[in-house]
Amino acid sequence: DSGVTQTPKHLITATGQRVTLRCSPRSGDLSVYWYQQSLDQGLQFLIQYYNGEERAKGNILERFSAQQFPDLHSELNLSSLELGDSALYFCASRGQSGGYTFGSGTRLTVV
């Protein structure tokens, strides 16, 4: 167990729908990063939060949004889902030591 918890582990939904992925960082870690891994692709950075504030944005679609709550958990909202959004979504937290710890991911399948 890495200490970073992602739920759900698997999600199957239809095109056009909206889903929410949840991430709880390691205890004490203030930074949360979201990454998307599509088939045969590396991990693509989506967005970063630090202590509730958005700090960096990567290749995140306008249909996607995220937030980090006061208890430091983060949610990634994906709306108007398309087949191409099917991917593994990873959350990572980063602590004071600078190390990045990844959760086990959420596998999203859009049908």
Residues that bind another protein (CB under 8 A): 2, 4, 6, 31, 33, 35, 40-45, 48, 50, 55-56, 58, 90, 92, 94, 99-105
Instruction: Rank residues 23 and 78 by Cβ distance to another protein and give the closer one.
Output: 23
Whole-number Å distance between alpha carbons of 81 and 83: 7
Of 16 and 58, which has the nearer Cβ to another protein? 58
* Shorter beta-carbon distance to another protein: residue 34 or 81: 34
CA distance 12 to 62: 21
Dist CA 45 CA 56 (whole Å): 9
Q: Is the Cβ of residue 4 or residue 66 nearer to another protein in the bound state?
A: 4
Minimum separation from the CB atom of position 39 to another protein (A): 11
C-alpha distances in Å from residue 60, one per residue of 55, 65, 98: 13, 8, 24
* Minimal distance, residue 15 CB to another protein, in Å: 25
Q: Whole-angstrom Cα distance, residue 13 to residue 83?
A: 10
